[in-house]
């Protein structure tokens, strides 16, 4: 390229597009130039300055990745200088990077999968090139068994090519055998659940009628009795070992309310049940993995253990929630019975005993405990204080405070209890009216909480691989964690909005 106005010749003035070829720049100074120098500027940094003692032509080869600019300084016979800077030369010899989670995969024959799932391509100049990845998967028969080699290819704008070959081993799915085995297992589990429910219903009936019957001599235990005895024996053995550790006493103290409410031997027994349930979940996870011809990873085993450990807390929390609701619903009946007893001239211990005899259910259990505590010599204040701490209901705290004040200062207990009875009856009536008025809003809130789950299930059914990127990459896992946190905050806000305190 001859630039007559400037008086010099340069073969390539600029090359702004990225190229993987060497850029050769020939330079010849014009007439009147005695000597000259040039400096190659790479990525904004000046390299060594080269001096040419005469006006001969030179050739500069740019053969490394980078952005270049060349600066020429020409000297004439009088010592005057003229400076010339070229345009931009972009050289890119680095191939893109292909990121694939594994070098080999095992898939089942006939199963649907996406060969591009979890595959990512990046380039130092073009950035993300994932959408430009091509494969030879269309020419491979994945329905036949054996090892198949899939080649991933991506090319950047400079023409650099990156390839990576991954082995896909197609194995027999055994779907029919696994499906039949799963059906058998599900059937066995359903039968076991049915028998367990029948057994517990029989046990509950036996407890209700036990005080009216005599225990038969030489009674033989059935299968469920032996399983229950084995479970209790394992819990007791594990509990004895756990009680040797001093920190277990502090840790198990959080389960004391469950121990009192559900008549457990000790709070440590509940911790032992949690550990035993963890082992059961791990065994079931191993069985499930064996049926799928897979091996559990460490994280999967840890997840099974944590799930089994936490599920006991959930069960006890639900049971305690229903227990408290039963106490709260039957407390008004207990107040009415006690008030009638006071009107008949009975004392507080006698009124407590009358409630334990007349009522049934969880309120009967609590007042029976209170009656036994009073029989053992505990004061009325202490007995009702323990009752309030076990239940944690505002009405019980109010009842406890009233009885404590009456027992210490005196007063008309019938009048006080009539006021309590009227207050609780009005509060219960308002609660039922509030429940009826907010039923539609609560239904909408429940639907809003369940809607994301239905949305995910529907999309997964239509496109099983749609949410796979969320678990196939670190960024996806981070996004999944953020989504779960947002969903939990969403549930918390809905529950706070819908909660009405009386």
Residues of the chain with confidence (pLDDT) below 50: 1-5
| Whether pTM exceeds 0.75 | no
Report the first-to-last Cα separation within the chain, whole angstroms.
90
- CA atoms of 230 and 244, how far apart (whole Å): 22
**252, 272 contact by CB (below 8 A):** no
**67, 93 contact by CB (below 8 A):** no
- CA atoms of 425 and 422, how far apart (whole Å): 5
* CATH assignment, 97-173: 2.60.40.10
Backbone angles phi, psi at 100, to 5 degrees: -125, 135
Q: What is the topology classification, in CATH, of domain 2-91?
A: Immunoglobulin-like (2.60.40)
- 397-413: pLDDT as tens digits: 877 888 778 777 777 77
**Per-residue model confidence (pLDDT) at position 140:** 81
- CA atoms of 274 and 306, how far apart (whole Å): 10
Domains 2-91 and 97-173 share a fold: yes
Q: Where are the domains of the chain?
A: 2-91, 97-173, 321-431, 438-502
**Pairing state between β 104-108 and 161-171:** parallel
- 33-70: pLDDT as tens digits: 888 899 999 888 888 788 988 888 888 888 888 889 99
Q: Using the structure block, give the residue that is written with the tokens 């038969």.
A: 216
**Pairing state between β 33-42 and 66-76:** antiparallel
**Per-residue model confidence (pLDDT) at position 2:** 46
Burial of 22 (0-12, 13-18, 19+ CB in 10 A): exposed
């Amino acid at each position: 390229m001859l630039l007559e106005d400037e008086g010099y010749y340069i073969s390539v003035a600029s090359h702004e597009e990225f190229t993987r070829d060497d850029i050769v720049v020939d330079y010849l100074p014009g007439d009147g130039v005695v000597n000259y120098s040039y400096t190659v500027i790479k990525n904004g940094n000046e390299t060594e300055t080269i001096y040419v003692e005469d006006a001969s032509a030179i050739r500069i080869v740019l053969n490394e990745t980078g952005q270049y600019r060349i600066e020429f300084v020409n000297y004439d016979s009088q010592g005057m200088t003229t400076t010339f800077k070229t345009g931009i030369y972009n050289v890119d010899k680095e191939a893109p990077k292909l990121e694939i989670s594994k070098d080999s995969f095992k898939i089942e024959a006939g199963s649907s999968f996406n060969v591009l799932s979890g595959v990512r391509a990046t380039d130092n100049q073009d950035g993300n090139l994932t959408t430009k990845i091509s494969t030879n998967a269309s020419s491979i028969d994945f329905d036949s068994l054996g090892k198949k080699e899939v080649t991933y290819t991506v090319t950047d704008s400079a023409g650099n090519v990156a390839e990576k070959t991954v082995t896909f081993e197609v194995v027999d799915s055994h779907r029919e055998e696994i499906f039949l085995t799963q059906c058998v297992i599900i059937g066995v589990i359903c039968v076991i659940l049915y028998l367990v429910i029948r057994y517990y219903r029989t046990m509950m009936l036996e407890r209700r009628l036990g005080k009216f019957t005599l225990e038969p001599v030489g009674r033989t235990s059935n299968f469920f009795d032996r399983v229950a005895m084995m479970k209790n024996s394992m819990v007791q053995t594990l509990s004895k070992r756990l009680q040797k550790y001093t920190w277990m006493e502090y840790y198990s103290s959080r389960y004391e309310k469950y121990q009192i409410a559900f008549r457990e031997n000790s709070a440590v027994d509940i911790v032992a049940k949690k550990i035993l349930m963890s082992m059961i979940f791990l065994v079931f996870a191993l069985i499930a993995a064996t049926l799928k011809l897979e091996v559990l990873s460490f994280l999967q085993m840890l997840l099974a253990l944590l799930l089994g450990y936490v599920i006991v807390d959930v069960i006890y929390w639900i049971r305690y929630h229903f227990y408290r609701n039963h106490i709260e619903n039957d407390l008004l009946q207990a107040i009415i019975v006690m008030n009638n007893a006071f009107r008949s001239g009975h004392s507080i211990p006698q009124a407590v005993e009358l409630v334990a005899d007349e009522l049934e259910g969880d309120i009967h259990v609590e007042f029976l405990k209170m009656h036994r505590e009073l029989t053992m010599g505990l004061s009325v204040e202490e007995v009702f204080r323990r009752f309030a701490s076990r239940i944690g209901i505002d009405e019980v705290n109010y009842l406890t405070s009233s009885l404590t004040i009456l027992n210490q200062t005196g007063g008309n207990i019938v009048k006080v209890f009539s006021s309590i009875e009227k207050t609780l009856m009005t509060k219960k009536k308002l609660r039922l009216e509030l429940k009826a008025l907010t039923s539609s809003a609560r239904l909408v809130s429940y639907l809003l909480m369940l809607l994301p789950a239905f949305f995910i299930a529907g999309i997964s059914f239509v496109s099983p691989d749609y949410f796979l990127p969320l678990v196939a990459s670190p960024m996806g896992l981070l996004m999944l964690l953020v989504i779960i946190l947002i969903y939990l905050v969403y549930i918390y806000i809905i529950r706070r909005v819908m909660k009405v305190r009386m």
